[in-house]
């Protein structure tokens, strides 16, 4: 048994002793058995990339495990000879025979099916992970399939694919925001290599910050969320990037209608160390119709990673991401925002059964706005910075028990903004909104236990301790909710690191899977989630300028309790997966703004916060065909989400902005022959609710609407068909590179899908009022007509 070298600081000592104590106890118990351990990493033979979530199955024992997010597995078994099957989507099943008389370290290489050019015939029996795995309410994106599907402007976007999963609702087109099982857009924790991304969108959601070339794995947890995750109520989107080909140098690139990208990967030391760097930049602002030639709109992403995997016992990784959006309109108006993250990670094997991951993570999200005007000119800058240290340990006790435990500590600094005049004549004065600080602790422990052949349980507990700290001034009000005329009675000064408010919450998590028979199972789960970092969105589409706030004396943590139950069944030798899941989620203290809130530069913003309850329930059906020339999925979701918040809609319940009753998503990819692949996606959803007038009146020369109820109207339904064709010409042996053409059409039947509706006095095309100026009209905004695109991808 070894100890880690670092001596932790105070907050870490408590949690470290806890994990150490547990570890010691369990190894004492385990020592008494006559068992040996087989462990190792599972990799792709062509590039050395570790594979996440590979099913490792022992037919003799009807037991197995799954590789962890670093590709590691560990099986503790009685001595003997075993045949062990490794299976993973998109790869040929690998079977090894091992004679276990002592502890064995064995890395396993798997062969990707896409590197095998001929038609794949299904001969090996596949392990039915959909049915057998305990994890429910989770969707893993199959990156190989994602690349065959149509993409907007040819840019493959994992968030658009996430938006097509059952249980996930979108606000509409052109936004990267997504809503999972009744949760608002800020209730999703989006991680890239464990670092949080606060705004995953480029160009307001036209594209996402994830460059698909560099993505290895994407998983969305919608329910039954494992104890190692916390911080958001509704979902965890965990994206992991490739480590880099450690066998040979490779270059991949693509030139598209909107953006181009390039990726370089290769070994630094063959089989031991590798790097990967990728960059993507857009260059054409096709969708902006402004006549001004001085407009400049672009975004870029850079991902870089370097790793050293010399041996199985110690592995080191460093990953970086930086991305930015820049908009400049003429010389007048500009805004920009971006995310930057860095993750330093150390994987360590204490012994064959105890795997540890220690990460130090930095994340910075910033945005700025500038208006250049001699009278009203100003510049506004704001950012959110985060530093985290995490230690996650997996103790593979035996084939019946997998223990995971760990602690996370995160410090955050919120700088909501500084507004300063940017010209001498500007009428603005410099205003600084107060910075806010928080220290977020999470300690968890959970065990996945195989009780019997049919029943597996997962139970765990997470403790969340959230501290809102100074240096900050907290204002006290005669009425903390009076936002018309906030009256401060006192100002409390808190010094640096001084505790202002602490919120402690326990988050129990439990899941169970019962095998009904071959290829069928039933799963249930319960989780409680706590959220202490809030993005109170004013509108449906969270704009970067909506600021994040920590829990504080005026903002309570949000809580969610979710129960889910599902039936899972595989057909046709596990090539066809079916799942039906129903959930109920009850949320407390969800956030909203009061009607007419003044959200910009409001020193008394806390008077505008309103919190109340929300509830959501639904049924998700999914049929997924994984094999064959035609692969694809059909998903249907029925759901309902309501909110009831005092101070909003006169305290009456109202549908959430993303309450869309019926959603259908169909994806299909067809390998026609060795040259051509066709893809299609079709989406349908019930129109989203919107707040509109019922009546109107006149005041002086103005014609305002009368608003009666929040979200009392529905936009027309949304539906869209996208098609794509990928052409891979025969490889020209004279050339060292291989090119493919992707032809795609977005919105193939040119539907004008409603984005929003606004009202105005009736005007003609030139903007002049028609008639007496009393009649009003409603106008629907729609974004994208039919959009064809061509992309050329190169691979060296």
Partner 1 sequence: MKNIFFILLFAVVFASCDRPIHLNLNESQVRVIIEGQVTNRPGYQYVKLSRSVDFYQTGALPKITNATVSVKDSDGNEVMFIHNPNNKADSIGYYLPQTPFLGVIGKDYHLRVDVDGEIYEADDHLYPVTSVDSLAYRIDDDEKDDPKTANKFYEVLIYAKEPHPSKDYYLFKFYRNDSLKLYNDTDIYYTDDEALGESINGISTPIFYAPGDKATIEAYSLSRSGYVFYDDLQKLLNNDGGMFNQPPANSRTNLSNGALGFFQASAINSASIVVEQ
User: Hey, which residues between 230 and 289 contact partner 1 (CB under 8 A)?
Assistant: 287-289
CA distances from 562 to 29, 123, 231, 439, 670 (A): 34, 40, 15, 26, 37
Count of CA atoms in the C-beta half-sphere (13 A) of 169 = 35
> Residues in contact with partner 1, total (CB under 8 A)?
80
What separation, in Å, do the N-terminal and C-terminal C-alpha atoms of the chain show? 46
How far is Cα 451 from Cα 326, in angstroms, rounded to an integer? 55
Q: How far apart are CA 9 and CA 108, in angstroms?
A: 38
185: left (phi > 0), else alpha (psi -120 to 50), else beta?
alpha
CB of 741 to partner 1, least distance (A): 29
The nearest distance, CB 653 to partner 1, in angstroms, is: 15
Residues 129-168, mask of contacts with partner 1 (x by CB under 8 A):
----------------------------------------
Q: Which is nearer to partner 1, 426 or 579 (CB)?
A: 426
Question: In whole angstroms, how close is the CB of 450 to partner 1 at the nearest point?
Answer: 49
The answer to whether residues 679 and 723 touch, using CB atoms and an 8 Å cutoff, is yes
Q: Determine which residue in the list 251, 465, 543, 580 makes contact with partner 1, applying CB under 8 A.
A: 543
Among 95, 415, 434, 691, binds partner 1 (CB under 8 A): 691
Do 319 and 363 meet the contact criterion of CB atoms below 8 Å apart? no
Selected from 97, 484, 491, 764, the binder of partner 1 by CB under 8 A is 484
Residue of 538, 563, 623, 725 interacting with partner 1 (CB under 8 A): 538
Query: Rule CB under 8 A: is residue 785 a binding residue for partner 1?
Result: yes
Contact status, residue 382 vs residue 547, Cβ threshold 8 Å: yes
Contacting partner 1 (CB under 8 A), which of 255, 326, 582, 693?
693
Q: Which stretch binds partner 1 (CB under 8 A): 32-40, 149-157, 325-333, 623-631?
A: 325-333
Q: Does 34 bind partner 1 (CB under 8 A)?
A: no
* Binding segment toward partner 1, per CB under 8 A, in 263-271, 272-280, 667-675, 698-706: 698-706
Residues in 596-655 that interact with partner 1 by CB under 8 A: 596-601
Nearer CB in complex with partner 1: 209/594 = 594
Residues 6 or more apart in contact with residue 69 via CB below 8 angstroms: 52, 217, 238, 240, 357
Of 52 and 419, which has the nearer Cβ to partner 1?
419
The residue (of 148 and 324) whose beta carbon lies closer to partner 1 is 324
Only one of the segments 489-497, 588-596, 614-622, 668-676 lies at the binding site for partner 1 (rule: CB under 8 A); that segment is 588-596
Separation CA 500–CA 504 (nearest Å) = 13
Please tell me whether residue 702 binds partner 1 under the rule CB under 8 A. yes
CB of 683 to partner 1, least distance (A): 19
Q: In terms of CB distance, is 576 or 761 closer to partner 1?
A: 761
Backbone angles phi, psi at 212, to 5 degrees: -60, -25
Other beta carbons within 10 Å of 437? 20
471 burial (CB, 10 Å; 0-12 / 13-18 / 19+) is middle
Task: Between 30 and 538, name the residue whose CB sits nearer to partner 1.
Answer: 538
Q: Does 489 bind partner 1 (CB under 8 A)?
A: no
Question: Interacting stretch for partner 1, rule CB under 8 A, among 385-393, 451-459, 470-478, 782-790?
Answer: 782-790
Q: Which two tokens stand for residue 386?
A: 């985060």
Q: Which is nearer to partner 1, 1 or 706 (CB)?
A: 706
Q: Which of residues 731-770 bind partner 1 (CB under 8 A)?
A: 752, 754-761, 769
Alpha carbon 304 to its chain's center: 19
Quick check: 704 binds partner 1 (CB under 8 A)?
Answer: yes
The reply on whether position 229 binds partner 1 by CB under 8 A is: no
Where do the DSSP E strands lie in 572-651? 576-593, 609-625, 630-644
Question: Which residues of 518-575 form beta strands (DSSP E)?
Answer: 520-531, 533-535, 548-550, 558-571
Question: Which residues ranging from 421 to 440 are in contact with partner 1 (CB under 8 A)?
Answer: 425, 427-429, 431
Q: Which range in 275-283, 357-365, 578-586, 775-783 contacts partner 1 by CB under 8 A?
A: 775-783
335 binds partner 1 (CB under 8 A): yes
Of 303, 293, 230, 315, nearest in space to 265 by CA = 303
Determine if 169 is a binding residue for partner 1 (CB under 8 A): no
The beta strands (E) that lie in 352-435 are given as 354-371, 378-398, 401-420, 431-432
**435 or 776: CB nearest partner 1:** 776
Is residue 595 at the binding interface for partner 1, with CB under 8 A as the rule?
yes
- Among positions 368-407, residues that touch partner 1 (CB under 8 A) are 369, 371, 375-376
Looking up tokens 């399939």 gives 145
CB atoms within 10 A of CB 494: 17
Helix (H) or strand (E) holding 368: strand 354-371
């Amino acid at each position: 048994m070894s100890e880690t070298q670092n001596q932790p600081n105070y907050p870490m000592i408590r949690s470290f002793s806890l994990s150490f104590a547990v570890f010691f106890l369990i190894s004492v118990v385990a020592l008494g058995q006559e068992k040996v351990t087989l462990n190792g990493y599972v990799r792709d033979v062509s590039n050395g990339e570790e594979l996440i979530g590979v099913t490792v199955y022992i037919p003799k024992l009807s037991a197995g495990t799954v590789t962890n997010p670093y590709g590691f597995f560990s099986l503790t078994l009685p001595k003997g000879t075993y045949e062990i099957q490794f299976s993973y989507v998109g790869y040929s099943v690998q079977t090894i025979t091992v004679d276990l008389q002592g502890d064995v370290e064995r890395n396993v290489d798997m062969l990707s099916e896409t590197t095998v050019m001929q038609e794949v015939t299904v001969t090996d029996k596949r392990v039915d992970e959909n049915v057998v795995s305990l994890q429910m309410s989770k969707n893993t994106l199959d990156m190989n399939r994602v690349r065959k599907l149509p993409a907007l402007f040819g840019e493959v976007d994992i968030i658009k694919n996430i938006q097509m999963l059952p249980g996930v609702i979108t606000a509409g087109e052109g936004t990267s925001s997504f809503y999972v099982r009744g949760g608002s857009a800020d209730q999703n924790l989006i991680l890239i290599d464990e670092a949080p991304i606060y705004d995953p969108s480029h160009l307001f959601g036209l594209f996402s910050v994830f460059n698909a070339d560099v993505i290895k794995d994407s998983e969305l947890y919608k329910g039954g969320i494992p104890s190692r995750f916390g911080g958001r109520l509704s979902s965890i989107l965990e994206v992991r990037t490739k480590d880099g080909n450690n066998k040979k140098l490779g270059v991949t690139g693509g030139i598209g209608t909107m953006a181009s990208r390039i990726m370089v990967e290769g070994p630094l030391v063959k089989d031991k160390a590798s790097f990967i760097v990728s960059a993507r930049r857009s260059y054409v602002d096709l969708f902006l119709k402004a006549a001004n030639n001085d407009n400049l709109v672009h975004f870029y992403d850079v991902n870089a990673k370097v790793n050293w995997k010399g041996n199985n016992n110690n592995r080191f990784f460093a990953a970086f991401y930086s991305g930015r959006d820049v908009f400049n309109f003429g010389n007048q108006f500009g805004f920009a925002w971006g995310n930057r993250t860095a993750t330093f990670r150390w994987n360590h094997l204490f012994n064959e059964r105890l795997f540890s991951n220690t990460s130090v993570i930095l994340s910075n999200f910033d945005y700025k706005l500038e208006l250049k005007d001699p009278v009203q000119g100003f510049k506004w800058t704001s950012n959110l910075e985060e530093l985290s240290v995490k230690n996650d340990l997996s103790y593979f006790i035996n084939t019946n028990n997998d223990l995971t435990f760990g602690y996370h500590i995160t410090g955050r600094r919120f700088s909501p903004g500084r507004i300063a005049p940017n010209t001498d004549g500007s009428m603005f004065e410099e205003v600084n909104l107060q910075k806010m600080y928080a220290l977020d602790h999470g300690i968890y422990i959970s065990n996945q236990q195989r009780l019997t052949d049919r029943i597996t349980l997962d139970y765990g507990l997470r403790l969340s301790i959230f501290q809102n700290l100074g240096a900050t001034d907290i204002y006290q009000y005669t009425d903390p909710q009076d936002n018309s005329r906030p009256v401060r009675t006192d100002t409390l000064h808190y010094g640096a690191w001084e505790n202002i408010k602490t919120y402690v919450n326990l988050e129990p998590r439990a899941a169970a899977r019962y095998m009904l028979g071959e290829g069928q199972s039933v799963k249930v789960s319960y989780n409680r989630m706590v959220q202490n970092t809030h993005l109170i969105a004013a509108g449906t589409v969270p704009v970067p300028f909506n600021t994040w706030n920590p829990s504080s004396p005026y903002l309570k943590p949000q809580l969610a309790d979710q129960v889910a139950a599902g039936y899972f069944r595989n057909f046709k030798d596990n090539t066809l997966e079916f799942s039906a899941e129903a959930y109920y989620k009850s949320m407390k203290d969800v956030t909203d703004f009061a009607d007419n809130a003044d959200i910009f530069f409001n020193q008394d913003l806390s008077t505008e916060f309103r919190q109340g309850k929300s509830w959501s329930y639904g049924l998700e059906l999914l049929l997924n065909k994984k094999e064959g020339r035609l692969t694809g999925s059909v998903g249907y979701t029925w759901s309902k989400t309501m909110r009831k918040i005092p101070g909003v809609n006169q305290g009456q319940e109202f549908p959430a902005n993303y309450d869309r009753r019926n959603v259908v998503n169909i994806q299909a990819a067809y390998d026609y022959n060795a040259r051509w692949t066709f893809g299609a996606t079709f989406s349908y959803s019930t129109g989203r609710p919107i707040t509109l007038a019922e009546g109107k009146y006149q005041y002086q020369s103005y014609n305002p609407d009368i608003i009666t109820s929040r979200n009392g109207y529905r936009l027309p339904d949304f539906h869209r068909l996208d098609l794509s064709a990928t052409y891979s010409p025969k490889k020209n042996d004279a050339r060292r590179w291989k090119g493919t053409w992707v032809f795609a059409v977005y919105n193939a039947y040119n539907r004008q899908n409603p984005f929003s509706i606004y009202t105005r006095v009736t005007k003609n095309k030139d903007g002049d009022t028609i008639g007496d100026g009393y009649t009003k009209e409603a106008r629907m905004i729609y974004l994208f007509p039919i959009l064809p695109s061509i992309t050329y991808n190169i691979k060296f």
